[in-house]
Structure 1
Amino acid sequence: MDNSPSKKVWLKFKRNKFAFAGLIFILLLVLMGISGYLIMPDSSPDANVQKVQIAKQKPGAKFMFLIVERYTHIARVNWFQKMLNGQTPDFKSIPITAYRIAGRDVFVTEYIGEEEKAKETKYNLADLCPDCVLPNTIERVKPLFEKHNIYSQTYLLGTDIYGRDLLSRLILSIRVSLSVGIMAVLISLFIGVGLGAVAGYFGGRVDALISWVMNVIWSLPSLLLVIAISFALGKGFWQIFIAVGLSTWVDVARLVRGQVMALKEVEFIEAARALGFSTSRIIVKHILPNIAGPILVVASSNFASAILLETGLSFLGFGAQPPTPSWGSMIKEHYGYIIMDAAYLAILPGLAIMLTVYAFNVLAIGLRDAFDVKGQNVTV
């Protein structure tokens, strides 16, 4: 039987049903975020196909579309390129309610709203569907036309104010939130672990200086600090990584400083010094591995904080810039509809934020209990 510390931590973590469910939910989000365009109904870049005629449609709405133009200059990409960047549509389509073929013409009734009836628009059959013209018989024209120019699409979560598929934009927003969280946590860990370890190990004036910097940063509201950094760096996706990361490192540094101060007086660290090991080796090889549990807990907690900061910035206009979707920007675009009959436009991204942050919080609690941070035993 495997009695390793990591095995014990895993078994203890699994017994926490809420934390384990949070981990499963996060893994599902990661899988959806990686798959991205491959699983989205709208696989266009940024899920930005706009059809204003069908704006603010309820979840489950289904429409028939007519392809009115094809773009021969648009190249089809392979599945990997599509997964990363999407596939630019190679046709233009319009929503319709009915059509009929009469000789060499197609008469189409466009969809312009539930309460309005559009007049028929005439198109040349040969322009829309070159394969449908004679010598094909009339019995073959309609099936060919439906195959090449007619398709239906169901909007499972409805459409936004621009007629874009809401489900696709919610899925793509996962990439924004998780990527900001990952990069922000990595930046905060790099800065926080480094400064915290130096302050805790050397103490004295070095500790006083670093602690003063931490207290100054700690005294500033996180959102205001991120906004200030965003002003300095400019609006954009990569700037958010840096801004959020620079605002969350203090939590890591304070934790690491306290843990290192307690651990550096332990016997095996004294033995390492007596053996002549370098300071960097003692910190990296002997101290940091023994405080990995607490660091992992605070990193998980910071992940949730980073997601909240990113959505707040996007709501204020400093986050991912349009047309890139973000949960925060989606709420900003639609929060005025909460008191109207389209409240789901703002509620759905709000629920996505709430569930994701809750999953990371219960994960952090589960990790804290599994690692037994308060009563953690130090191992050599």
Structure 2
Amino acid sequence: MKTSTSLTKIALQKFKKNFWGVFSFAFLVVCVLVAIFAYSLAPDASQNANQMHLAIHSKAPGFTTKMLTIPSEFKQENSFNSFFFGKKSAATEIPINSYSLNNGKLQITEYTSDGTDGLEKEFDVSVFPEGTSLQDIPKRYISEKKFLLGTDKYGRDLLSRMLIGIRISLAIGFVAVFISLLIGISLGAIAGYFGGKIDAAIMWVINVTWSIPTLLLVIAITLALGKGFWQVFIAVGLTMWVEVARVVRGQVMGVKQMQYVTAARALGYTDFRIITKHILPNAMAPVIIISAANFAGAILIESGLSFLGIGAQPPVPSLGGIIKDHYAYIILGKPYLAIIPGLAIMSLVTAFMLIGNALRDALDVRN
């Protein structure tokens, strides 16, 4: 039996033996798939899952009610856009207590939570698509709807908001880590390779940025760029590159003393080729570990910004924004409205931290 000598294969084998690392990786793969297919999985497929039913606000998980669906009058939308961004012209839903068919019209009594008689309304057959008879309306457009995680204070489906909120958190994590790696690796490699005045100048920038509290720096950048979804991407990414740059600089300073780097210089290779082809590939192990921690940090920072009201703006669902809207409900007898998104944030952050720990153990050459 042959023993593998590839460092990559050895690290992969060690990672597979780490139960929590593998479990966290599988959990994050599921979360990524959920984020990609969020609008296909969400019961409320309207854009940003923003279908409001004020009559059924703040209901507990598992709440069920009759729902009348009135089709949209707009033309059919592009299926690709609907798949990734939701339906702009989603059907209107009305919670009802009861209905009847009288005088060629559909008569409904709207839902009330206190047991009193709700508002009565009538709908003509013309409201529904052509060819629909009065007797077909209850079968096709009235159904029992169950809210698995309940509804928020605006009567929106909390499960749908959570699924799209996970997409927001993961997207900001990916983009923020990408920006931080791009800046951090570039500056760290330049500082470590060339040294001297270039190193001193870059280290001055790193130390100044490092001395500013992360959340304050993110708030300042966000206020400068403006409130919004894409601004948060940039703001979080611009504050997470410092640690990457410091680690890459230290790794490059050590690797550039190796004999194969000296041989590459003797062969006349350019500095750019030496850095990208010979030094960085052998200095990336710690960066991979830091990236996992930065991913978790990006999710926490975005949640904090949304909680403060300067992150993703309504009606875009964000896990931090959902907590902001409902943290007062913790003392009002409905703590699940804030606890559920809090558990989602905790699960995502914990998964990334466990993967980081597993990667650290797998890439540790001393083991």
| Same fold? TM cut 0.5 | yes
1:94: which partner in 2? 94
TM-score under structure 1 normalisation? 0.91
* Counterpart Cα distance in 1 of 2:223 and 2:87: 33
Hey, what's the Cα distance between the residues in 2 that align with 1:114 and 1:252? 57
- Map 1:183-194 onto structure 2 (within 5 A): 183-194=175-186
What is the Cα deviation at residue 295 of structure 1?
Answer: 1.1
Residues 186-240 of structure 1: CA distance to partner in whole angstroms, max 9, x if unpaired?
1111110011111111111111111111111111110000001111111111111
Which of 39, 42, 51 aligns to 2:41? It is: 39
- Cα gap change, 1:220/1:337 in structure 2, threshold over 3 Å: closer, same or farther? same
Q: After superposing the two structures, state which structure 1 stretch, 263-272 or 353-362, moved more.
A: 263-272
* In 2, Cα distance between equivalents of 1:159 and 1:233: 33
Q: Name the CA distance, whole Å, in 2 between partners of 1:273 and 1:159.
A: 64
1:247-276 CA distance string (max 9 Å, x none): 000010000011111111111111212222
Alpha-carbon offset, residue 114 of structure 1: 3.3
Task: Name the structure 2 match of 1:217.
Answer: 209
Deviations 1:121-161 (A, max 9, x none): 4444565686565xxxxxxx54x122233122110000000
Aligned mates of 1:46, 1:87 — CA distance in 2:
9
Distance 2:237 2:106 in 1: 57
| Rounded Cα–Cα distance in structure 2 between residues aligned with 1:145 and 1:130 | 12
Residue 276 (structure 2) aligned to one of 284, 299, 319: 284
Cα deviation, residue 4, structure 1? 2.2
What is the percent sequence identity of the aligned residues? 47
Aligned to 1:57: 59
Distance across 2 between alignment mates of 1:363 and 1:329: 26
Q: State the match for 2:167 in structure 1.
A: 175
Q: Encode CA deviations 1:327-362: one digit per residue, 9 max, x unaligned.
A: 011111000001122111111111110110000001
Q: Report Cα offsets for 1:69-122 as digits up to 9, x if no partner.
A: 4433231432x3322111234532311111122342433221022343325444
The one-letter code of the counterpart of 1:267 is Q
**How far apart, CA to CA, are the structure 2 residues paired with 1:120 and 1:129?**
22
The answer to whether 1:117 aligns with 2:117 is: yes
CA distance in 1, matches of 2:129, 2:106: 10
- Counterpart residue number, 1:14: 16
Q: Which residue of 2 aligns with 1:372?
A: 364
What is aligned with 2:286?
A: 294
Partner SS, residue 284 of structure 2: helix
Structure 2: how far apart are the matches of 1:206 and 1:91?
A: 60
Equivalent in the alignment of 1:138: none
- Could you say what the CA RMSD is over the residues aligned between the two structures, in angstroms? 1.8
Could you tell which deviates more after superposition, 82-91 or 279-288? 82-91
- 1:203-282 to structure 2, matched below 5 A, reads 203-282=195-274
SS in structure 2 at match of 1:247 = coil
> Quick check: 1:13–1:19 contact (8 Å CA) kept in 2?
yes
Mark the runs of 5 or more structure 2 residues left unpaired by the alignment: none
Do 1:185 and 1:303's aligned partners in 2 also have CA atoms closer than 8 Å?
yes
Asked if the contact 2:110/2:119 (under 8 Å) is kept, the reply is yes
Letter in structure 2 aligned against 1:19:
G
Match of 1:22, SS?
Answer: helix
Q: Report the residue type matching 1:28 in the other structure.
A: V
Equivalent residues, number:
365
Distance in 1 (CA, whole Å) between partners of 2:280 and 2:342 is 37
In 1, the alpha carbon distance for the partners of 2:158 and 2:293 equals 29
Q: Quote the residue 1:137 is aligned against.
A: none
Equivalent residue, structure 2, for 1:355: 347
Task: Flag the 1:122–1:86 CA change in 2: closer, same or farther, 3 A.
Answer: closer
Residues 349 and 90 of structure 1, relative CA distance in 2, 3 Å threshold: closer
Corresponding residue for 2:74? Answer: 73
Q: 3-state DSSP class of the match of 1:113? A: coil
Q: Distance in 2 between matches of 1:307 and 1:129?
A: 44
Distance 1:203 1:363, change over 3 A: same
State the alpha-carbon separation in 2 of the partners of residues 181 and 82 from structure 1.
Answer: 24
Q: TM-score, normalised by structure 2?
A: 0.94
The 2-side partners of 1:183 and 1:91 are apart by 33
The one-letter code of the counterpart of 2:101 is: I
**Which letter maps to 2:33?**
L
1:148-183 per-residue CA deviation (whole Å, 9 max, x = no partner) reads 331221100000000000000100011111111111
Question: Could you tell me whether the CA contact under 8 Å between 1:272 and 1:282 is conserved in 2?
Answer: yes
Alpha-carbon distance in 2 for matches of 1:83, 1:105 = 34
Which residue is equivalent to 1:28?
30
Answer whether contact 2:192 2:253 (CA < 8 A) is retained: yes
Return closer, same or farther for 1:38/1:365 CA change in 2, 3 Å cut-off: same
1:16 to partner: Cα distance: 0.9
Q: Does structure 1 retain, via aligned residues, the 8 Å contact 2:71–2:129?
A: no
Give the corresponding residue for 1:85. Answer: 85
1:258 is aligned with what amino acid?
G
Deviates more, 1:293-302 or 1:93-102: 93-102
Counterpart contact for 1:108–1:120, Cα < 8 Å: yes
